[in-house]
Amino acid sequence: MTDQDTALTPQPVCPHCGHKERDAWEWNFGNLLEGSHRGDCNSCGETFTTEREVSVYYTTKAS
Ligand SMILES: [Zn+2]
């Protein structure tokens, strides 16, 4: 795995085996939108830390 493979991905990618985690919405990243979570890979069992980064967009229309 290169750093590129695990950076800013739609799903957390295990840095050990490349497994894409599909249940990250269940993880506890803390009270803020952005935070970090440390846990075990569901595939290989190795521990890694995931940082959640959030971008916010707004759309407006006359109403
Ligand atoms: Zn893994």
Q: Considering the domain boundaries, does residue 58 fall inside one? A: no
Q: Considering the domain boundaries, does residue 14 fall inside one? A: yes
What separation in Å is there between the alpha carbon of 27 and the centre of ligand 1?
A: 16
What separation in Å is there between the alpha carbon of 39 and the centre of ligand 1?
A: 11
Count of C-beta atoms within a 10 Å radius of residue 47: 10
pLDDT at 4: 76
What separation in Å is there between the alpha carbon of 20 and the centre of ligand 1?
A: 8
pLDDT at 55: 93
Q: Considering the domain boundaries, does residue 10 fall inside one? A: yes
> Could you tell me the residue range of the domain that residue 29 belongs to?
3-52
What separation in Å is there between the alpha carbon of 13 and the centre of ligand 1?
A: 8
Q: Considering the domain boundaries, does residue 47 fall inside one? A: yes
Check: CB of residue 18 under 8 Å from CB of residue 8: no
As for how many domains the chain has, the answer is 1
Given pLDDT bands bounded at 50, 70 and 90, which one contains residue 3? confident
Helix (H) or strand (E) holding 52: strand 47-52
What separation in Å is there between the alpha carbon of 23 and the centre of ligand 1?
A: 14
